[in-house]
Chains A and B, each alone.
Chain A
Amino acid sequence: MKTQKMIVLLFLILTVVLAGCSSSNGGSNGSAEGNNQNESNSANPDPTSADEKVTINFMHLWPEGVSTAQNKVVNDIIKQYQDEHPNVTIKLEVLDNEQYKNKLKVLSTSNTLPDVGVTWAAGFLQPYVEGGLFASLDDLLGNGLGDQFVAGTTDAFQVDGSTYGVPLEFNIAPIYYNKEIFANHNLEVPTTYDEFLNVVQTLVDNGVTPIALGNKDRWTGSLWYMYLADRIAGQEVFSNALAGKDTYMQDSLLQAAGEVQNLVNLNAFNKGFNGLSNDEGKADFYNEAAAMYLMGTWELANFTANEEIPQEFKDKVGFFKFPVVSGGKGDANSWVGGPGVGLFVAENSPVKEQAKQFVAYFVEKWGEKAVTDAGVIPATKVDTSSVELADLYVELFNEMNNATSITLYADVQLEAEAAEVHLNQIQALFGNAATPEQFSEAHEQAIKK
């Protein structure tokens, strides 16, 4: 009986201690201050001495299995860096896209972000900056690194004039089309929206799905809406409305939303698109059941290097710019796109300086290897004459250079809550569950909030 009492008491004491600890911690975890408790780092509080062993934690989202090329580029750069800086160890953690975002969120609540990590621009980055979690990278950019970027690509990573992330990717979204299907129906690449509608109508009449779309993911449909808004309302009006500088309740924007529904009612998109993921939706383009597909330039790797895609299909793929709408204010060289992911450095990282140096090194090397080794278009300048690239890449590089404006994806541009509203409304608009008025109204409210 005595042993029982002892065990029970022991248990109780243990709980009181543990519960005491954890609840006191729970109360304080909302604050942005507090020490980084990343154990691997805490041993190196002093960043000044160069010889001291340093561990930099780096979290990214290119798993070895599917993003083999990117993963390899990352590992090569790290290996090179560690060879050149023997005192530095880079510790990696790799997660897939969604898990990565979730983990970053959970880590930020305890202020234990990795020293270096992947971030998205604008709306994603802003709360982290406002909460004081990301370090300003102005010193890096001022130190020569800034000149390496294509002009304007770092803008989306700025908050109040300071830059908090350096972009690794830069994409625009053309409409890819199947040349053979177009030829079979005597169709020309449309340059005006009326011609485009004619293409759609002809394809529908001949039983071919005009456009492959998987709108369960919602950002896919958003691209179509954004282009229509850009072409009809014009880049400036649309940007101002998204930024909340001007009202969203404008006739031109209503017209754009109405045009989306017009396309839906013409049966321009594949069957059941609102219930299909992007992967499922685009399959119709890849197996040549659909003639067109609007997507970012990251898709180029599939039309060029990817060995799983048959060469005969690759040869049929071309692209065109989103056509101009007569009477609309947008021009053909205005694109939807922008920087994809970038790198951040954690503000409270105990190895902040070393982390920044690593980021600078990484961006430079990434810029040299990304296109050739992984088919990723970096945000840094690429000398297209010195590297050998597939025609599609070269043509799109040229388009990027001729771009008059590039409107950042709405779901990236908007802050999280408004972005969710935008995406939900896109699905509702495409599903004819919201009228253009309701659509604009919801945006007006969400952006003003």
Chain B
Amino acid sequence: MNKMMSNKWIIALYMLPALLLLALIIYIPIVLTGYYGLNDWNGIKAMTFVGLENYKELIGDKAFWSSALHSLLLALFSCLSLILYLAVSLVLASKIKGANTLRKIYLIPMLLSSVAIAQLWLKIYHPSNGLINIFLEKLGVVNTPEWLANTDIVLFAIFLPILWQYAGFYILIYYAALKGVPKEVEEAATIDGATAWQIAYRIKVPLITEVLKVTLVLAMVGSLKYFDLIYVMTGGGPNGASEVMASYMYRIAFKSFDFGYASAVSFFLLLICLVVTWLIRALTASKEQIQY
């Protein structure tokens, strides 16, 4: 058994397609991006090597740091909202009438492309004709907020659709994981007199810790490099108030045509992701042993 499970050729055979693809399609571009980051390059003229000049500029770039802060905030909110997603999944996975239909309905927004979601939320947030402000006006609010134009609230206004957009994704994963918990475990606990809450918190959740850890990493990394909705809904504005790292990078590359600097930004983004992921794994590592 052990001999078979450590056969190098078989391991290589199973791993190679994945690793080769990643090496070709992702690692070579990462290395090249790293190289572009050391150059001054507008994508047209020949590159000029400038060493760490771009990184020096990055350190003093206030706009970048504010976008990094926004990204980290988004990551934090995404991680917190995982709790909400998990709660919904726990309810869905417990014995509820019509759970099967509800589950499908809950995941529908996930199928929509970002274009559609952005349009929907633009209609919700519209300052004079939007769903929220129409509602607030009916309640008698006079100075209804300008959701996407007010630099103080735009960042949080933009988080909501993102969290909503990803609800389906995480609920799908949690639901599948929870359904994988053997029925016998639950039944045994029920006979012992455990409440639904106890079963969920003490038995089901610990059994899917691996999945939880994975989603934590996914939420973190996904948020740090998030781009779609923000770009369509606010373009990072007004005045950079909703800019995140990836939208900042995109603007530098494709609007300001400064590919060298943009590459430095994306390399830095990669570094931040690495540190955060490493932190998550370090913080959750202790429990890993118990699983085996």
Q: Which residues of A contact B (CB under 8 A)?
A: 1, 4-5, 7-8, 11-12, 14-15, 18-19, 22-23, 26, 30-32, 101-102, 105, 108-109, 127-128, 130-131, 133, 215-216, 218, 270-277, 280, 284, 289, 416-417, 419-420, 424, 427-428, 431, 433-434
* Residue B235 lies at the interface, judged by CB distance under 8 Å to chain A: yes
Interface residue ranges of B70-127 to A (CB < 8 Å): 122, 125-127
Complex alpha-carbon distance, A433 and B238, angstroms: 9
Complex alpha-carbon distance, A276 and B130, angstroms: 12
Q: For the side of the interface on B, what is the size category?
A: 35 or more
Complex alpha-carbon distance, A46 and B150, angstroms: 59
Q: Which residues in A have their C-beta under 8 angstroms from that of B150?
A: 275
* Residue B284 lies at the interface, judged by CB distance under 8 Å to chain A: no
Establish whether residues B149 and A431, one from each chain, have CB atoms under 8 Å apart when the complex forms: yes
Complex alpha-carbon distance, A151 and B51, angstroms: 47
Establish whether residues B149 and A15, one from each chain, have CB atoms under 8 Å apart when the complex forms: no
Most buried by A among B28, B41, B147: B28
Q: Which residues in B have their C-beta under 8 angstroms from that of A215?
A: 238
- Given the interface contacts A15-B23, A216-B235, A427-B239, does A127 sit within 8 Å of B149 by beta carbon? no
- Select from chain B the residue with minimum beta-carbon distance to A272: B127
Q: Which residues of B contact A (CB under 8 A)?
A: 9-10, 12-13, 16-17, 20, 23-24, 28, 31-32, 39, 41-47, 122, 125-128, 146-151, 154, 234-235, 237-240, 251, 254-259
Establish whether residues A274 and B237, one from each chain, have CB atoms under 8 Å apart when the complex forms: yes
Interface pairs (14), CB distance under 8 Å: A5-B9, A15-B20, A19-B23, A22-B24, A30-B41, A133-B44, A215-B238, A216-B235, A274-B239, A275-B149, A275-B238, A417-B258, A420-B256, A424-B237
Q: Which of B10, B42, B234, B256 contacts A275 (CB 8 A)?
A: B234
Within the complex, the shortest CB–CB distance from B117 to chain A, in Å, comes to 16
Complex alpha-carbon distance, A109 and B151, angstroms: 36
- Given the interface contacts A108-B43, A275-B148, does A427 sit within 8 Å of B238 by beta carbon? yes
Establish whether residues B9 and A275, one from each chain, have CB atoms under 8 Å apart when the complex forms: no
Within the complex, the shortest CB–CB distance from B1 to chain A, in Å, comes to 17
Q: Which residues in B have their C-beta under 8 angstroms from that of A5?
A: 9
Establish whether residues B9 and A4, one from each chain, have CB atoms under 8 Å apart when the complex forms: yes
Known pairs A270-B128, A420-B256 / 11 extra A-B pairs, C-beta < 8 Å: A8-B9, A19-B24, A19-B28, A271-B128, A272-B149, A274-B146, A275-B148, A416-B256, A420-B251, A431-B149, A433-B238
Establish whether residues A275 and B146, one from each chain, have CB atoms under 8 Å apart when the complex forms: yes
Q: Which residues in A have their C-beta under 8 angstroms from that of B13?
A: 4, 7-8
Establish whether residues B255 and A420, one from each chain, have CB atoms under 8 Å apart when the complex forms: yes
- Select from chain B the residue with minimum beta-carbon distance to A106: B43
Complex alpha-carbon distance, A416 and B43, angstroms: 12
Complex alpha-carbon distance, A276 and B237, angstroms: 11
Give the dominant DSSP class at A's interface. helix
Q: Which of B45, B126, B128, B234 contacts A127 (CB 8 A)?
A: B45
Q: Which residues in A have their C-beta under 8 angstroms from that of B17?
A: 11
Q: Which residues in A have their C-beta under 8 angstroms from that of B47?
A: 30
Q: Which residues in B have their C-beta under 8 angstroms from that of A7?
A: 13
- Given the interface contacts A1-B9, A417-B257, does A271 sit within 8 Å of B127 by beta carbon? yes
Establish whether residues B149 and A105, one from each chain, have CB atoms under 8 Å apart when the complex forms: no
Establish whether residues B126 and A431, one from each chain, have CB atoms under 8 Å apart when the complex forms: no
Q: Which residues in A have their C-beta under 8 angstroms from that of B9?
A: 1, 4-5, 8
Q: Which residues in B have their C-beta under 8 angstroms from that of A102?
A: 254
Complex alpha-carbon distance, A4 and B148, angstroms: 58
Complex alpha-carbon distance, A109 and B32, angstroms: 13
Most buried by B among A26, A108, A275: A275
Complex alpha-carbon distance, A434 and B240, angstroms: 12
Complex alpha-carbon distance, A284 and B127, angstroms: 12
Q: Which of B24, B32, B122, B235 contacts A280 (CB 8 A)?
A: B122
Complex alpha-carbon distance, A102 and B259, angstroms: 12
Q: Which residues in B have their C-beta under 8 angstroms from that of A15?
A: 20, 23-24
Establish whether residues B258 and A273, one from each chain, have CB atoms under 8 Å apart when the complex forms: no
Establish whether residues A130 and B257, one from each chain, have CB atoms under 8 Å apart when the complex forms: no
Q: Which of A18, A30, A289, A428 contacts B239 (CB 8 A)?
A: A428
